Amino acid sequence: VHWVYYTSNSLLILTCNSNCLINRKNELLATLQNSRLDIALISETHLTNVTKINLPGYHIIQSNHPDDTPHVGAAICIKSSLLYYPFSSLERSHRTLAEYLRHYVDKDLNNWDQLLPYALFVYNSTEHSRIYTNYQPYALLYGKELDIPVKLKCNPEPRYNYDDYVFDLK
């Protein structure tokens, strides 16, 4: 078993590359509890659909080999006391992206696919307060803040202003 600890401000993260983790479950559980680890990222060579990793006090997300043979799989163990909403977070991010696109897409809704990379850039460079504790998603993924060019920090000109609205009313 290979144990590596990482820390990012307040989280203690373990990466584990293991062979036959099921036989060493007690060792992993003791390490998680004694080290007060928040997240464990596990790479395992013998995970199948029958193999289940259950660790008290942790939510487990497990990826097994598709043909149910013992090949490389992965598991993410997240401490139950952490704020963790996997599905609601995804649904919220999709709703936020839709809100971004709604402001810029043309009247015929034809250009949303061209604007999606820009909407993703804005989403990933914006701090998210509730779930991510005031971090940018980019910073959580890469470990550093995203440098935004100065030109992009200026307020954009509106594409549709009051004069356009009055003109459309006539």
Tens digits of residue pLDDT in 78-88: 787 776 555 56
Sign of CA dihedral 154, 143, 39, 64: positive
| Residues of the chain above pLDDT 90, percent | 0
Could you tell me if 92 and 66 lie in one domain? Answer: no
Angle formed by the axes of helices 112-125 and 86-104, to 10°?
Answer: 120
For residues 150 and 162, the model is more confident at 162
Could you tell me if 45 and 103 lie in one domain? Answer: no
For residues 73 and 104, the model is more confident at 104
Could you tell me if 55 and 101 lie in one domain? Answer: no
For residues 87 and 105, the model is more confident at 105
Could you tell me if 118 and 135 lie in one domain? Answer: yes
Could you tell me if 60 and 129 lie in one domain? Answer: no
Could you tell me if 71 and 48 lie in one domain? Answer: yes
d(CA 1, CA 89): 33
Sign of CA dihedral 86, 92, 94, 97: negative
For residues 98 and 62, the model is more confident at 98
Q: Residue 108 pLDDT more than 50?
A: yes
Q: Residue 116 pLDDT more than 80?
A: yes
150-to-69, 127, 138, 162 alpha-carbon distances in Å: 52, 18, 18, 28
Could you tell me if 61 and 111 lie in one domain? Answer: no
Could you tell me if 74 and 92 lie in one domain? Answer: no
Side-chain-facing half-sphere of 124: CA atoms under 13 Å: 17
Q: Residue 91 pLDDT more than 50?
A: yes
Could you tell me if 128 and 160 lie in one domain? Answer: yes
Q: What pLDDT digit, counting tens, does each position of 38-49 carry?
A: 887 777 766 666
Report the pLDDT averaged over residues 154-158.
67
Q: What is the mean pLDDT of the chain?
A: 73
Count of domains for the chain? 2
Residue ending a domain, among 26, 50, 79, is 79
Q: What is the pLDDT confidence band of residue 104, given thresholds at 50, 70 and 90?
A: confident
Domain that holds residue 165: 86-169
Could you tell me if 61 and 92 lie in one domain? Answer: no
